[in-house]
Amino acid sequence: MIMSVQTIQEMIEYANARSAIYKLLSTTFTKELSKESLEIFRGNKLAETLRDLGIDFGNNFYTCDAEELVKKLSEEYAALFILPGGINPTESVARSGLYMQAFAGQTLKFYKQCGFILSDDFKGFPDHIGIELEFMSHLSKNEAITYKNGAEDEAKKWSAHQKMFLEEHLSHWAMDLAKNVAAYTQQSFYREIAHFLYEFIGEETKEFARGAGYSDGQTA
Enter the pTM of the model: 0.92
Predicted local confidence at residue 1, as pLDDT: 41
Predicted local confidence at residue 174, as pLDDT: 99
CA-closest candidate to residue 79, choices 192, 189, 184, 173: 184
Pick the CATH number of 3-32+85-210 from 1.10.3480.10, 1.10.3720.10, 3.90.1150.10, 2.60.40.1180: 1.10.3480.10
Residues of the chain with pLDDT under 50: 1-2, 4-5, 214-220
Predicted local confidence at residue 88, as pLDDT: 98
Domain boundaries, the chain: 3-32+85-210
Predicted local confidence at residue 6, as pLDDT: 52
Cα dihedral sign for 7, 203, 108, 33?
positive
Q: In the beta sheet, which residues pair with residue 218?
A: 215
Q: Are 204 and 169 in contact (CB under 8 A)?
A: no
Predicted local confidence at residue 36, as pLDDT: 95
Distance of CA 128 to the CA centre of its chain: 11
